[in-house]
Structure formats: C-alpha cells, structure tokens
Chain A
Amino acid sequence: MKRTLLGYVPEKSIVYNFHPFTRLFVVFLLTFVPLLILNPAFNGALIVLTVIFFAVSRIDLKIFRYYLPVFVLLFVFITAIYTFFAEEEMMTEALLSVGGVTLYRPAINYALKVYLRILGVLFLTIYFLHVMTESEIVVALRSVKVPFVISYTLGLSLRAIGMFLEDYRTVREAEKARALDISEMNIFKKAAKLINYIVPLLALAIRRTDEFSDAISSRAFSLKTMKNRPNYLARKNRFKWTDFAGICLAVLAIAAVFYLHHRIP
C-alpha cells in the first residue's frame, strides 16, 4: 500500500499507468461538470463514473464510511435552506406539512439537484486526494513547467502541513494526558480550546523559519538562480501513450457533456 494525501492505494493499481499531471488534469477538468451544470442526469453519471474510478484504481470503497457524516450533514443543511428559505416561485405545490412547516415539491426537487451537484464535486475531490501523494502534485506541476519558485513553495507548504499535523497531534495528546478531552465540549468551549493549539503551532512556525531558511540556502538555493534548473525527477515520470489517451478521452467527454447539455437543456 502506498500512502496518498488522504488514504492508501495498492502497490499495483491502474493509477500508476498515468502521469501525476494526467491525474490532476482529468480530475480538475471533470469538476467543471458539477460546477457549471445542475442537471442531475449529468451529475448522477459523474458520481457513477467516479465510483468506477475508485473501483478500477482498487481503492477500498469502505473509505466512504468516513465521509458519511459529511454527506448527511450537507443533505440536512440544503433541505433546511430550501424548506425555510425557499424562493417564492418554488413554493407552489405543497408536498407535506408538519407542525406549520411546509415542504414544497419544486423546492425540494431543486434541493435534491443541488445536493447531487455537491456530491459530484465531493466524490471527485475525495478521489483526487486518494490517488495523489504530495510529491506527485509537485511532479505534476513541474512537468508542465510551472515556475520552480511556485512548485517549490507549494511542496514546502505540503511538507509544512504534514509537519504541523504531527505537531497538532502531539499537542492534543498532551492535552488528553491532562484529561482535557475536547470531543465532549460544546462548540464555544471547543473554539476557546482551539486557540491553545493555534498559538503553539504558530510559535513553532516562527521559530522554524530561520532554520528552514538556513537549511535551504545552505543547499545552494537562491531566488536568483532558479531559471534553467535541471529537473531530475522528470526522467522518472515520463508521459506515456496512456497519458495522451487519458487526456484526450477526458477532453472529448467534457466536450460531449457540454454539447449535450447545451442541446437538451
């Protein structure tokens, strides 16, 4: 198993037939579907497609368990909005009425469409976070000649996130040892507690700035000599025919979707 941003991918997975850039590009291209299209047919199809992606990448579908609360919470939030704050023109046909609150069919219909769209986005994003590692994101950006200062700073940021997550856990463990369990507090207490984590994390960041900078400049890095740098890792990640095929397929699919969407509103 290889650890990725949010999960694991088996050592042998179709994912590795695709260059990190291809993975990044295809997922981002597909997210335009839910971003721009509300039609549930397309978003439904997209969700099915993403689940197929998960399956052929051999990622354990059980991971969806973790996201279940998010899915439910979103559902509740959106239906609540369309129940209590529905637009005038959506309040035409009552579906049912409980204790003075009326659900209208058009409003709820609309809410479901919105829900499906958001679900589509969520599925794709979760997929992305499951098939990419931090360093693959950097490799992807460098492969298409994103300026080194940007890809490097992003890599350093991803490094910093991992580092501070570890620190955060350490601080929390220490709190737990002192029997301060925040999972039982209400949201205001939690918020107050949170500052106890942010202050030390930020203090660590400030303290580490010097040492990080010294370490980086000690390896002959300078803002001035970043042009025409060799890119050693590019050799290990070459574009193959599968990448061209994947990218072409994704572009064609998106073109078809928007064409169809335009034709059948």
Chain B
Amino acid sequence: MKPAVEFKDYRWQYEGGRKDALRIPELVIGERSTVGVVGPNEQGKTTLVRTLNGIIPHSHRGVLKGEARVLGENVAEVSHQDLSRKVGVVFSDPDSQFTSMSVEEELVFGLENLNLPLAEIRGRLEWITRILELEDFLAKPPYELSGGQKQKVAIASVVVMKPKILVLDEPTSMLDPRGKEEIFRAVRRIKEEERITLVITEHNLEELLKIVDRVIHLDEGTLVFEGAVADFINAFDYSQDKIYPPEISSIFDFLKRGKEWDGDIPWKLEEGLKRYQRP
C-alpha cells in the first residue's frame, strides 16, 4: 500500500521553545489506515497534527529539520492552501471550531473556499447532512448546540470537503460522556462511508482503541512506538501513570503478573470477557 504520510528524521522546534516539540526519526502511515496517536499532555500530539496539514511550518514560526511528506509531497514545499484541501483537521475546542453563525454556513464554508460549483456544493451538503443526521440543525446558531453537536458539525464541515486524510486532534477531550459517544459514533459512520486515512489523537484510550488499527505513541515529544493495536497493548508499560490504558487491559495485565493469565492482553471489554470465560 502507498503511504499517506512519511516522516524521516523529522524535528520541529517552536520559536522561543527550549527543545524540540516533536521528534520523529521514522514513521510511515499507510493509506486508508486508521491510526491513533496517544501520549500525555504537551507531548507533541497537536504539533504532529499541525504538520500533517502544513500549518507547520507555514503558519507557525519555528525551525523544521528533516522531512515530512504527506500524500507524497514535502510539507515544507507544498503550500498550506493546497495541503489543506487534501488533509482535513478538526481540533479539540468545540467553540473555536465553529466559526460562523449557522450550521449550514459552517458546512458550506469550506466548500466555498474550494470554489466548487453551486450544484456540487448542494449535493455534498445533502450528502453530509444525511450521513451524519444533521437535518434538524441546519438553521441553528452555535449557541443552540451542545459541545458534542458543535464538534460533530466541525467534523462534518471538514469531511464534506472530501479530504484524503482526516485528522482529529483530541476531538472529545472537552466533551461530556454523551458528547464523546456522539463523536465516536460519527467517526465510525464516516469510516463506513468514506475509505479515508484517519488519524485521531487522544489520551483516553478506551474508545480510541476500538476504532483504530495502529497506534503511535509519543512521549516527551518523541515517537516511542508505532505498530498494531495488539502489539501496543501487549508491550504497554502498565506501571506508568501518564496515559490510561483500557480498564480491561489493566485487569488482564494484573492477572498476567499474578500468573492467572498467560495469553494476549485484550483491549475490548467483550473480547476480554469472552476470553476469561473460556476455561
């Protein structure tokens, strides 16, 4: 499979920063894969996200070393404008994602920026409204939406631009449990509908690991692990307390250390229960 993203000896330091905010010696993200980026606070997740659509280095000041290629193009060389057509990004604060005064305006904003014909805009608007069930919201202003709904609109307004890569930067970190659920449901729906490359950063692993195939682990701004979810969960250091693994994985790790279990560690609740019931 062709890679969607390739990093080689990549480093980024913000202007005024004391050390590199992000260091990625080597990384390949395959096209159409779903990747979770995990790491505690301030470890470069957002910096990675900003690199993926060229906001870094084009809108932030700092020093870039090495190379980051997205869809085959070097981010430092391609214009941010071009890249943002192919890489859609949603950030974590639902309030700052919503930039206009109605859901409908919000959804067509990106399409107008792409300079699409009106008929195409209309078709895409109807499409996204249908798949994410937004009919009742179209005329609503942001202050009549919950945080989860605002965030869903933000995701919709990016997906409607049909990017090749969709990046969600801690999309649920500022939401209540219902909002979180709403967002994960929407993401699953998008995965069914559009076979795009999906990159999601989170520090809550419970929900994340259910939908991703691979995991990237950042610590102190450095890539420390990249691989399949099963490998991540089995190689995980359960004694650290910077990121929280799924409850069920912790339980199995505990059992394993007590020699009560010697198989692989599961990360989905149903999976864990099924395995444990087996004699």
Contacts and interface: CB of A to CB of B under 8 A. Distances in A.
Interface string B72-102: 0000000011001101111111011111111
B81 A159 contact: no
A185 B143 CA distance: 30
A135 B100 contact: yes
Q: What bracket does the count of chain A residues touching chain B fall in? A: 35 or more
Interface in A213-252: 213-222, 224-225, 228-233, 235
Given A133-B141, A138-B105, A218 B111 contact: no
Interface residues of B, number: 47
Which secondary structure dominates chain A's binding surface?
helix
29 contacts: A133-B102, A152-B100, A156-B99, A159-B99, A163-B142, A163-B143, A208-B96, A211-B92, A212-B99, A213-B59, A214-B89, A215-B99, A216-B99, A217-B80, A218-B55, A218-B88, A218-B158, A219-B109, A219-B110, A219-B157, A220-B110, A220-B161, A221-B110, A225-B81, A225-B113, A230-B112, A230-B118, A232-B122, A235-B118
Contacts of A10: none
A134 B93 contact: no
B contacts with A: majority SS:
helix
A220 B85 contact: yes
A155 interface: yes
Contacts of A208: 93, 95-96
A233 B108 contact: yes
A208 to B, nearest CB: 5
A162 interface: yes
Interface string A27-70: 00000000000000000000000000000000000000000000
Nearest to B50: A214
A134 B101 contact: yes
B100 A229 contact: no
